[in-house]
Structure 1
């Protein structure tokens, strides 16, 4: 099964404060047997010496004999290899009227390929404790591969087969379709899912970013095998491929493995152009009635593109408002001072063609209005006055100190290096990052706060109307207005 990273399927509350993550949201659901196999790998790693700071290791730009480029860190501390890679495209390449095609491709690539049926393919993965997964985010089709060093040849060969010779057998397609539809039906009664979908629909009306990446109950039944094959043909090509590898493998061996794995793919894809778009401007408010114990509030507005020269100022000031966990302004005001919610957070979210800031909280139905007003009040305050010098200094200190801790495993570093490539930050970005954070002045932070929040918020509320909060629960079909 795929590791879903579809933006909008699970917007808030996913710990999306790490700068390296970009638009990726992780929902990893492997089959049960593989969980035990991967746990075994983790146990092996736990018995070995702790890794030094991988982020301080030398990052190499490797070009294979066949021309496949990768960012690469050789590290023999533990006998593991982690590879993250991405093709340009993602959910934005789903055919018009058929959102969810890329998501189904991600779910199906490891369901049999080459001369292996689905059962045999998974048995091969499980036997060697190989972690192989795929996902479709808004702008890229991503993959992840992790294995013990001794199993690298088989792991890369299984990946090659999945990418170049997927079966898309009818029985497998229908089984995965049923699973996707089951998940979509569950989402109709999930307040977070409803809020996320409505927020993106309102932010990007008429644009591919406004479509649900995992599809709809209407679109998924209409997806044909021909759609899946056409998506693979158009998207999985080496001209947009980006690769990051960290682990116990030398450059010469890795170059050969990359050619063997990706060399059989088309050299050029056939992507449909995606237009730049600015998210809808605040203030807007939407309410979706749903009979659930807790009301969910999702809020946000236009954010900073990653290539914006003022991105880091926005990133730092957003940490002060809502990205700093227990130290953020929103947490102190909404949770600690007023006791309105268990948690509240906000983060920047950037894609290739647009950007958002997004926040989320949950509260009692009869206190939803008070919660929203408290959030709006804090947003108005920071937009008008900006942060204090002390807040700025503390945020910069945290963001600099936490960077190395966030990159302390091969998988984390590989994921970060892939995102840095997608964001075009340069292979020396890790070395330069702290100086970029340091360069943010108080005036920069104040201007960023004004730009982000001076217009207020777009808000989606999902739950029981306040006047019905004390009434017995009843089945209420979800509807947006």
Structure 2
């Protein structure tokens, strides 16, 4: 999945450790055979692959909720919490906490997506006790000291200010606003320039108390640790969290019906076009057909959009489109950038190709090639312990069976040409939600004004 992004701020692994991570390899077939459903003595569940190839442990975990649990008038709370959990906890201030991470080459990070609050922990096997203890401290007793809060808040606000002049950021925000309106999915995960200054420590503590709980916890661990030891570590780390989360209900929502178009004026030479529409949810029985045909339309340099927009017409350096499936909705989203005076021509080319595949569907050759690629690419997706842990966590979040890695190729193979054609019509038959960010059409035909100079 491409759009729900993870952001890690601290990478404390040494060069030697980084090299070892690159060597930590588990093939999909081996992984499928080794995946265990581990239950700790205290009842913490995890998907676990014991792998002693190198002396490393990678853990990915998540709690339900994410930025969808932000107060309606304060988007950005979950994002700030993710940035601040490792800024001091227990009897350690921020400086000392990070020195402990650095000294032991421990990588610890937190992030918020729309549906989950998640974290990553990576360490050398011999440092596992200290790594898990630091994580426990961060989850159970974060400081949220005023100096740390204001420093991180300033960083977030600076990033938000930069986004006001970024065509890509503006297009993405406007697209989700158009698609979802006042639903939590329509609000930016990182917050706004208006909301972030108003977020209080009380807001963040309330979020932690409501969201970080054992009943929605999902854990995936890959590495050099035995089941009994891991069970004790999981209990030590997560066992004192509240038993049940207190989440605000988030309703299911269908993205806005296309066609719709919005224009955001910005005086930049390159125009950004973001396009999309209602997608297919992960639980839908026709999801895999949509996933395969979507690869044909918009994924990679062999896709139809890439050939039509870049290779044949030279309208853009890149163009891509992908599926985004969420807990309560789904969309497809595409993006391209082009010269301001060629924006109309570029959008026409995109719309023609989307309309063509909706009406005709893919060819059998395209379908066969897409299946082959999607099956083979899984090998690359699982070539390190960290990647395997990430995909195992994703499969848990999507409520897939523990042996899904084994079943995936057969599910892809089962997609027929008729399935793919029906999925194409369902996805793209209504047209597009489109956001254009750049110079107004009449201004786009003129060269950009030279910047004003100032003499001293």
Q: Same fold per TM (> 0.5)?
A: yes
Greater displacement, 401-410 / 157-166: 401-410
Could you tell me which residue of structure 2 aligns to residue 253 of structure 1? 229
**Counterpart among 9, 13, 25 of residue 5 in structure 2:** 25
Alignment-derived partner of residue 93 in structure 1: 69
Q: Does 1:299 align with 2:279?
A: no
Aligned partners of 2:4, 2:386: CA distance in 1, in Å?
A: 15
Runs of 4+ displaced beyond 4 Å: none
Are positions 1:465 and 2:447 aligned together? no
- Report the CA distance between 1:292 and its aligned residue: 1.6
The 5 Å alignment of 1:324-335 reads: 325-335=300-310
TM-score, scaled to structure 1: 0.91
Residue 413 of structure 1: SS of its match in structure 2?
A: helix
- Note the residue ranges of structure 1 that are not aligned, 5 or more in a row: 1-15, 18-22, 476-481
Q: Distance in 2 between matches of 1:450 and 1:96?
A: 35
Find 1:315's aligned residue among 291, 304, 323. Answer: 291
Distance 1:472 1:294, change over 3 A: closer
Q: Does 1:282 align with 2:282?
A: no
Matches of 1:290 and 1:39 in 2, distance apart?
42
Alpha-carbon distance in structure 2 between the residues aligned to 1:451 and 1:315: 12
**Are the counterparts in 2 of residues 291 and 473 from structure 1 also a CA contact under 8 Å?**
no
Structure 2 counterpart SS, 1:279: coil
Q: Which of 314, 321, 331 in structure 2 is aligned with 1:356?
A: 331
Per the alignment, in what secondary structure is the counterpart of residue 324 of structure 2? Answer: strand
Q: How does 1:161-310 map to 2 (within 5 A)?
A: 161-310=137-286
Q: How many residues align?
A: 448
Which residue of structure 1 aligns with residue 52 of structure 2? Answer: 76
**Residue 158 (structure 1) aligned to one of 119, 134, 157:** 134
- TM-score, with normalisation over the residues of structure 2? 0.96
SS in structure 1 at match of 2:375:
helix
Whole-angstrom CA distance in 1 between matches of 2:97 and 2:26: 35
Contact 1:55 1:404 in 2 (8 A): no
Partner-residue secondary structure (3-state), 1:331: helix
The unaligned stretches of length 5 or more in structure 2 are 452-456
Q: Conserved in 2, the CA contact under 8 Å of 1:55 and 1:407? A: no
Instruction: Name the CA distance, whole Å, in 1 between partners of 2:190 and 2:354.
Output: 32
Matched with 2:82 is 106
The Cα of 1:29 is off from its aligned counterpart by 3.3
Alpha-carbon distance, 1:96 to partner:
1.8
Residue 291 of structure 1, CA deviation: 1.4
For residues 53-99 of structure 1, give each alpha carbon's deviation from its aligned partner in whole angstroms, at most 9, with x where no partner exists: 15522100000000000000000111111000000000000012000
Are the aligned partners of 2:8 and 2:111 in contact in 1 as well (CA < 8 Å)? no
Corresponding residue of 2:36: 60
Other-structure match for 2:373: 398
Instruction: Describe the SS at the equivalent of 2:317.
Output: coil
Contact 2:8–2:110, Cα closer than 8 Å, also in 1: no
The answer as to 2:319 corresponding to 1:339 is no
RMSD over equivalenced CA pairs, Å: 1.3
Q: Which of 400, 404, 412 is 2:387 aligned to?
A: 412
